[in-house]
Structure 1
Amino acid sequence: MQNRILKLGATDSVLVALTNLHKGESITHGDRSISLMEDIPAKHKFFIRDMAVGDAVIMYGLLVRKMTAPAASGSRVHTGNVHHATEPYDYHGYRSVWEPPDISRFKDLRFSGYHRSDGRVGTANYWIFIPTVFCENRNLEVIREVLENELGYASTEKYKAFTRHLLAAYQESGTLEDIQDFSLPPAPASNNSGNRPFKHVDGIKFLEHQGGCGGTRQDSELLGKLLAAYAHHPNVGGITILSLGCQNLQLEELMQQITGPNGSFDKPLVVLEQQQVGSEEELVKTAIRQTFEGLVKINRLERKPATLDKLCIGVKCGGSDGFSGISANR
């Protein structure tokens, strides 16, 4: 039977609902039977015992809250009956011994990923565009529109169809008053409906930024390190770099950070400098042509099984939910 509750620490005074629980249900935990006083939505916590004002709420074996109102066993934990609280601590005197969990039951599990030459495994296979300076952002926008639409990566086709629908009605009657249905029409059959020519390329990403020109030398170095880290990311299969030529972050510096001292970087790499190529039109055409050739190369890669120790999951802070500290940020 699927686990319905979770207790995070032996001394905790709350349980976590792993699925929706309902008022009147009897929840058994150890030798204790808890009758739920109200519905407990999944990811929410409820009290194991009766709580009085001022009682400590323990979770993860630590003080996390104190009671501001009495609550019966089986009642939901919420901001109306608790407030934030922590134990005092001394950072410099703090010592902790981390005991790794038993992961033996996961040793035979696998996921399908893209194996890179540095030993890392990506969960996706993207081509990315990197400008060395914000002056190239406009060229990136032009290239984005072309490649995403023509290669099936755009997600805006249904909105374009909706706008065409409104335009046709306006041109016919001079008003939109007769349109009562504002649902989105189905996208037309095209590359955007899923018929992508590069089956093993998950998308094309464009890393616009506002740096690269002005600022201090240290600003330029930090930007270069950041962009190089994107290039090395296991989810990235190939890169196009667009440079103007007169920016602080020079191509030579960025290339050193990407390729490293031993030049072992082996992902397809397109590097173009506008002042060397010539006109803006020539730069855009060359970038599209050479990127297309790179997409052909990384499309030859296929997902292969990988062990879970190769799986690296990033969690964006600011989107906390009831599982924060359990499966996400705390």
Structure 2
Amino acid sequence: KNCNAHCKNKILMLERYYSLGSSSLGGMDDDIVSLVKSIVPPLTSKKHKGQDGRIGIIGGCKDYTGAPYFAAISALKVGGDLSHVFCTKDAATVIKSYSPELIVHPVLDSPNAVEEIEKWLPRLHGLVVGPGLGREDFLLKTEVIERSKARDIPIVIDADGLWLVTHQPSVIQGYQKGILTPNFMEFTRLFEALHHEPMNSSDHQRSVMQLSAAMGNLTLVLKGEQDLISDGSKVYSCSVEGSGRRFDPHINPSVVAAFGACSLTRQCNNQAFQRHGRSTTTSDMIQEISPAFRKLFEN
């Protein structure tokens, strides 16, 4: 309801795009990456700081400080304006030392952690739960997710956040602005927790669609050699950036976001590997975000 004119124009364009039938596309091979391009905010001097994205990362403890940093700095590197990291006191100084551009809140292990985080929720456009979070204190994480859902905030759950979902699927089940991003082992645990039977290891696409449907058709990304993305109705495969296959124009916006993120991550990995080979680290991938983003979404 607070959209500026540019935001409203983008929404109208997307609504028109989603309303087109396949016959209206004239048989063109419209790559989903083109749809991602259409929602990338243009660079302009007419905006104030914060209009292009305020992201919250919930994670970071004494033993795990890298993952929340990488998530937060990546949000800035793709054009977001503000990245907030909500971590424990032990992790805060370390994460701050990685980058002065991050806003770090050492609140996760405080007695009133939920309230400390909740007061920032109205300022956030999206939330990532899980990087470096640890597997303790389920109640805290559950409360934060529930209060974020009440404010209709898009939530990405990864890493240790998925451990919580495996034990308590209802915390995110059916929330259409939720995205789960498991690796194969995390996916297997979650699948077997919901279906109470072993996963069919020979048909990953079917398993991804089944699990997404069981989770209330929220968007699921199975990370692997090919990233498989589903909202319970269809499965999309992301193996290289800019594939030439055709896509249904009636795509869930969360699927579009997930596909864009997978494409960018894979492109960064590819570019970093071309430069550094076996010496490639996550920090090398961070350095590739800008050129990879330009190649995929700004050409």
Range into which the TM-score falls when normalised by the shorter chain: under 0.3
Question: Which has more helix, going by share of residues?
Answer: 2
* TM, length-normalised to structure 2: 0.27
User: Which of the two has higher C-alpha Rg?
Assistant: 1
TM-score, length-scaled by structure 1: 0.25
